[in-house]
Amino acid sequence: MNRYLGKDFVVKSSVGHIRDLPVGGKTADPKARAAEAARTRKLSKEEQATYKEARARTQLVRRMGVNPDSDWQAEYEILPGKEKVVEELVRLARTADTVYLATDLDREGEAIAWHLRETIGGDPARYRRVVFNEITRKAIQDAFASPGELDMNRVNAQQARRFLDRVVGFELSPLLWNKVARGLSAGRVQSVAVRLVVEREREIRAFVPEEYWEAFADLDRAGGKDRQRFQVVREGDAAFRPVSKTQADGAVARLRGQSFTVREREDRPTRTRPSAPFITSTLQQAASTWLGFSVKKTMTLAQRLYEAGYITYMRT
């Protein structure tokens, strides 16, 4: 991108997300815990039960990093290992007249841009948003020629998804531990996926197989040329569907030694359209079916192709 934009621009990468909800619990101060225990000993049993319930809720909200009981207030933290990246970005932005946020054009990219703006700080008016779906000279120069603003609807959509990840996982997993077994986990996506798998498995187990047979005839033209295979689909006015080997053998016996005539032929024009461009899911399906690639390998290769300017953005 530096090559396309020129020497007036400094291009730096955040290497993905720089900020997120807490990724681990914080160790409590031993002195504070001792003082808290001393206070609770003075409470009645009813007061202790109420206090423990409130404390458990407070600890859960602290671990989640988002409080559903307080207008979904979130506590974001710099991700471990991203401290030096953030320091460099803050230092470079301090002397820049304009900061262009050129993250990916999906909701995750929009959220990364918002977190960068919030973390770097300074006058919000100096931040501009640029989006492009291919890394080519024309696409990048066009994007920087007409920058826009952050799309807060996309940012909020990403935050809603992230909050639900935490709330569903943190609220439901302990319920599974109490009701089913320790170590189980619930999730916004995985719990729904498990239900779909279970429902499908129940349908499979409830299925009652029915025996049926098919018959085929390999027929030649007069003179023994151009052999073609035909399937028997009707016998008289009824569909041909033997339900036992005896019925199938009887049908084959009736067919042997008969002569067959093409009574009617119908030609229809057909038109084949090219496949639609890949979206993320169809790209992954095709790579798995044709090449045996895992999802991770497919997206890693697609990312490299995108960064090299060979394909358009692959998460659409």
Reduced to 3 states, what is the DSSP secondary structure of residue 20? Answer: strand
Reduced to 3 states, what is the DSSP secondary structure of residue 18? Answer: coil
User: Please, which residues have CB within 8 angstroms of residue 283's CB and are 6 or more apart in sequence?
Assistant: 298, 302, 314
CB 137 within 8 A of CB 118: no
User: Please, which residues have CB within 8 angstroms of residue 289's CB and are 6 or more apart in sequence?
Assistant: none
Q: Could you tell me the sign of the dihedral formed by the alpha carbons of 44, 47, 49, 55, in that order?
A: negative
> Which residue of the set 51, 306, 310, 313 is catalytic?
313
CB 126 within 8 A of CB 97: yes
Distance CA 183, CA 22 (A): 21
215: nearest Cα among 239, 232, 240: 232
72 φ/ψ angles, rounded to the nearest 5 degrees: 55, 40
55 φ/ψ angles, rounded to the nearest 5 degrees: -65, -40
What is the separation of C-alpha 106 from the centre of its chain, rounded to a whole number of angstroms?
Answer: 12
313 is annotated as an active-site residue: yes
Distance CA 54, CA 26 (A): 18
Specify the pairing of strand 99-101 against strand 234-235: unpaired
Residues tagged active-site: 313
